[in-house]
Structure 1
Amino acid sequence: MGRKRRKDAPLIKNIAEHKEWQKKDRTRTSLTLLQNQEKIRQNTKFYYDPEKDKKDIEHYYKNVIGKEIKGLNLFYHYHNLVKKTHKNQLPYFICKDHYLYTWVDFQPDGTVKSIYSGEKSDPSRIIQEDFEIIQKRYEQFQALLEIVSKKDISLLKKMKSIDLRLKYNTEHIVPQSWFHAREPMKSDLHHLFVCHPECNVKRSNYPFHDFSFYQPESPKEKIRNRCGVVKDGRFEPEHGKGTVARAMMYFLLRYPNEIKKSSLKQINLSLLIHWHESFPVSIYEKHRNQSIYYIQGNRNPFIDFQELAYKIKFPFHIGSCGVKES
């Protein structure tokens, strides 16, 4: 009996979480969305206020700015800051539904873009789609529990199959499998982005890469698909390279000991820095950073200080292969 309970435990936990998430008031989420869209239509500073953000930055980094710190010491100064100030750690579905879709991932016009394709969507449609997916996942996990009780099956494979078929409109820039889907990493808004399910599936848990035969930034490049290119277990996105690079560097700074060693070795740091340099910070990212600061309490320093990427030294070995490969 004990063995059976241990086998069922992940599934039972999944069912309980989905049951709870189904109870959430979607009407309130939709109302918050409409209110935020109306506010930015009336006043663009509600979306992003550069003067206020400048003061926030000065206050947040007051114990770091101006100090002569380099290398590993610089890393730990910023690591300690973003960890200590990450005070409000919310459940994943609260972050995704109530914050990401209704405010954090807004474009200046109140729409959202899929991070890898750049395709615009109405946030209300995203919210509705995810609500329907929650219901379907709950029903299928329930059905799976009944099968498990009757005969021996590969439970984890079946659960993974449901996860793969019923994806949410959210992408973790650092794949969940790299950190065993643990909290607070899973719910950290700094690496959560709106992403169409097909792009989410295409990226899978592959590391980022830059292929010599693919130039999505060039006007001569034909759009191969809506998401990017996958080859030999690596992925190059169609859109959002600088944004994803800064999000991943934040994760490395905030959680230096949480990524599996096998996954850590696949990260190409020189590529991330190249994308960071080639695709500068946008108003959209500044809006995200300011918004997440008010929600979580911490910031992404690579958005606030772009030069930090060249000064900091990470305390572990990660990939540093060339930028362009075939």
Structure 2
Amino acid sequence: MANQRNVSEFVFMGLSSDQNMQMFCFVFFLFGYVALLVGNLLILVAIRCSPLFHQPMYYFLSHLSSMDVCYTSCVTPKLISDLLLGKKTISYGNCMLQVFTMHFFGIIEVFVLTVMAFDRCVAICKPLLYMIIMNRTRCNLLILAAWAGGAAHAFSQFSMIVSLPFCGPNEIDHYYCDIFPLLKVACTDTYITGVLVVANSGMVALVTFVLLFGSYVTILFTLRNHSAEGRRKALSTCGSHITVVVLFFGPSIFAYLRPPTTFPEDKIFSLFYTIIAPMFNPLVYTLRNTEMKKAIRKVCCQKIFSEEKHN
């Protein structure tokens, strides 16, 4: 029974059936996706073309920007085309691929955010040992661990979903292939699978959030002994990180750390961790970071100067 299926495609119910709302969503998400691509590309180029790349914080930020692009690209282009064309179908194979890639890149992003918090904690609490603790070998190992963790998580989630039979209803009350809506249309009892999904995704989100919260409590406790200027600079750097964490983790914890069922609000909360939070990352990390603004200006000025020289 587990390998039986005759559903060749799924139909998304989407965000709204109202035509005006669909057009508004199309314009908003198209603008947001283009801004995300341009913003993250600027961050990547600015970091790679400056000495910032040799600093652990910006090395991790370049990986976060890469993950933002990969993670959001699993969902947003399909959502934008569905809103424009009105065709909200996805093949079974592409649906399963979307489940895998969403969890793969999503968990890597979660782990990179956690590594960035650890990096800030070491920088503020152990400034004299910072470059020894956060050497390039250790940074590479942390990123490798994030990718390994993402792969392990994604394969476990994917294997649970791909083994389910889909032989009847194929209408999903969502705008992408998320696990709980898929469990709802499977032709078998999915209670155990749902519990395993919560145990996996929910606990990963909760444990990493607790680690992040603990690292920032440690940072705030340590900052009491710093000068006013030191506190201001540290809080400015950490403030941008906390903003990203709250936008990403709040909705994702609600989505996965709960009984395995679906709610009408799921689609709204999903927008935060699939599109809105990654869309704001470039703004948060550049507008509140003097070094990043300088690096981006330098790259842009070099580009303009080279074009003028060429002309």
TM-score if structure 2 supplies the norm length?
Answer: 0.26
Q: Which has the higher helix share?
A: 2
TM-score if structure 1 supplies the norm length?
Answer: 0.25
Q: For CA contacts below 8 A with separation 6 or more, give which structure has more relative contact order.
A: 2
